[in-house]
């Protein structure tokens, strides 16, 4: 029992010595760490040659891994530019697709508003003239709109009346023309027999009988089209009235929706776009009227029936550039061929081509001018795209839309260049100094 306390004392002494050594070692490590932080160690000289058999050193310098470049900096410049342009084009294409889906969902409303813009561009100069003569804007708008709608309604009624009046005569002449065509085929060098002609007629009757359901559904769709047409006419009429009466306030309200930074440019582009649209509509009406008068006179003197309704159709179809003139001219040629024969049809072709050549080379450059001049390729592509998207209505509004867009883009480009040059000139202008600076300082209350 007397040896146990002595053994415990030796263990306590050893533990005390180990604690003191650990404290000393911790103090040395903290001192080395403090010295390394205060002054970084100088790099050791590299050995002159590597010796594989040499003993490894016990240096505590950490090994720094190689720094890898950013992934974007490794991609070639052309690929980066293509990627940047690609995702932006995808965003634009997606936005355009969504916009087209929205427009197609409310196609009737959009088309009615566009027609109202075209009618307003045609009637607005009359309202402005009556207002300058001292008439209040309300009565001037009402008078102009009533006269315009009455004239358009009379044109539609006249065409319908002429077609109904000449239907019997035209059907008899068509039957005579079909008989003449049959006799010509029987006596032609094509060796067509009477049995083959009867077979063709029988096939046509069978096709009509087999597609009775489709014809009936087409008739029902025609009723739907008539209802939609009447709705569109009412929307266009109300929109025209409000645009004629309050167009300036509507434009000012629209400008408030534009960001403040872009508002000056849009405010300058708007009136120029409106002048372009007005010039296009008025010029197109004048050109279409001249085409209808001269082609109508030509087919009238050639004794082609329904000369006046055909002239009205030519006037209406002339609002569709290129395609409308071809379609209306082909209609007049077909009527002349069926009713008067091949020689009269050839003469109608000559009249139509002559008037269209005069229109393309004389009337349009002189009446429309350079403000609304669009390249023929752009006209063809825009009419085709408009027809594919929205049918006849899209073909009608495609060219004025392209003309207005061309005017707006050209103005905004010029405005951006002028604004950039003005900013650069102000930046590089010498600043006033001395008395000049004091003299140019704005007047105001004296500083305390």
What is the C-alpha to C-alpha distance for residues 309 and 302, in angstroms, rounded to an integer? 15
Structure tokens at 54: 């040499």
Is the pLDDT at 386 greater than 70? The verdict is yes
Is the pLDDT at 225 greater than 80? The verdict is no
pLDDT at 26: 74
Is the pLDDT at 373 greater than 70? The verdict is no
Task: Measure Cα distances from 11 to 4, 16, 17, 114, 223 in Å.
Answer: 11, 9, 10, 104, 113
pLDDT at 8: 64
pLDDT at 439: 45
Q: 90 pLDDT band (50/70/90 cuts)?
A: very high
What is the C-alpha to C-alpha distance for residues 16 and 10, in angstroms, rounded to an integer? 10
Look at the block and give the residue holding tokens 């998207």. 389
Most confident of 11-25, 295-309, 417-431: 295-309
Is the pLDDT at 222 greater than 60? The verdict is no
Long-range residue pairs from 406-410, CB within 8 A, at least 24 positions apart, any chain: 406/374, 407/269, 407/272, 407/273, 407/276, 407/371, 407/372, 408/269, 408/272, 408/273
Is the pLDDT at 39 greater than 70? The verdict is no
φ, ψ (nearest 5 deg) of residue 446: -70, 145
pLDDT at 209: 59
Q: How many CA atoms lie within 13 A of 396 on its CB side?
A: 16
What is the C-alpha to C-alpha distance for residues 241 and 234, in angstroms, rounded to an integer? 11
pLDDT, one tens digit per residue, over 286-304 is: 888 888 888 888 888 888 8
pLDDT at 60: 55
Q: 214 pLDDT band (50/70/90 cuts)?
A: low
Q: 323 pLDDT band (50/70/90 cuts)?
A: confident
Q: Which of 166, 172, 124, 167 is nearest to 148 (CA)?
A: 124
* Mean pLDDT calculated for residue range 160-167: 72
- pTM, whole model, 2 decimals? 0.64
Least confident of 103-107, 177-181, 434-438: 434-438
- Higher pLDDT among residues 246 and 67, named by residue: 246
pLDDT at 445: 39
pLDDT at 444: 40
Residues above pLDDT 90, as percent of the chain: 2
* Mean pLDDT calculated for residue range 348-360: 83
Helices (H), 70-106: 71-74, 77-105
What is the DSSP track for 118-130? HHHHHHHHHHHHH
Cβ contacts of 122 within 8 Å, gap of 6 or more:
148, 278, 281, 282, 285
Tell how far CA 113 is from the center of its chain.
Answer: 16
- Higher pLDDT among residues 258 and 62, named by residue: 258
């Amino acid at each position: 029992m007397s040896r146990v306390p002595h053994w415990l004392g030796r263990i306590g002494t050893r533990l005390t010595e180990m604690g003191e050594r650990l404290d000393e070692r911790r103090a040395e490590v903290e001192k080395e760490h403090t010295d390394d932080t205060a002054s970084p160690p100088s790099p050791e000289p590299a050995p002159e040659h590597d010796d594989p058999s040499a003993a490894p050193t016990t240096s505590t310098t950490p090994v720094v891994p190689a720094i890898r470049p950013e992934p974007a900096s490794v991609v070639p410049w052309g690929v980066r530019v293509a990627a940047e342009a690609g995702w932006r084009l995808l965003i634009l294409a997606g936005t355009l697709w969504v916009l087209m889906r929205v427009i197609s969902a409310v196609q009737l409303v959009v088309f009615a508003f566009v027609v109202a813009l075209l009618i307003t561009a045609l009637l607005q100069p009359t309202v402005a003239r009556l207002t300058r003569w001292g008439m209040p804007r309300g009565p001037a708008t009402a008078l102009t709109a009533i006269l315009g709608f009455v004239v358009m309604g009379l044109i539609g009624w006249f065409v319908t009346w002429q077609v109904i009046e000449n239907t019997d005569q035209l059907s008899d002449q068509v039957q005579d023309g079909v008989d003449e065509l049959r006799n010509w085929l029987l006596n032609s060098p094509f060796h067509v027999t009477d049995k083959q002609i009867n077979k063709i007629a029988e096939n046509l009757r069978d096709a009509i009988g087999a597609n009775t359901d489709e014809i009936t559904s087409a008739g029902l769709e025609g009723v739907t089209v008539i209802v939609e047409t009447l709705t569109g006419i009412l929307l266009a009429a109300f929109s025209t009235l409000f645009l004629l009466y309050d167009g300036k306030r509507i434009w000012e309200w629209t400008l408030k929706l534009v960001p403040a930074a872009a508002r000056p440019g849009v405010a300058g582009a708007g009136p120029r776009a409106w002048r372009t649209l007005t010039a296009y509509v008025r010029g197109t009406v004048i050109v279409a009227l001249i085409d209808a008068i001269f082609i109508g006179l030509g087919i009238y003197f050639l004794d082609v029936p329904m000369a006046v309704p055909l002239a009205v159709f030519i006037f209406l179809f002339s609002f569709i550039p290129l395609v409308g003139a071809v379609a209306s001219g082909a209609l007049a040629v077909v009527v002349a061929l069926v009713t008067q024969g091949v020689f009269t049809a050839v003469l109608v072709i000559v009249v139509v081509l002559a008037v269209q050549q005069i229109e393309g080379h004389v009337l349009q450059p002189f009446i429309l001018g350079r403000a609304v001049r669009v390249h023929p390729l752009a006209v063809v592509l825009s009419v085709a795209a408009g027809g594919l998207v929205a049918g006849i209505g899209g073909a009608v509004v495609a060219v004025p839309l392209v003309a207005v867009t061309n005017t707006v883009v050209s103005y905004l480009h010029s405005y951006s260049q002028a604004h950039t040059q003005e900013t650069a000139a102000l930046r590089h202008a010498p600043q006033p100094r001395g008395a000049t600076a004091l003299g140019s300082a704005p007047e105001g209350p004296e500083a305390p």
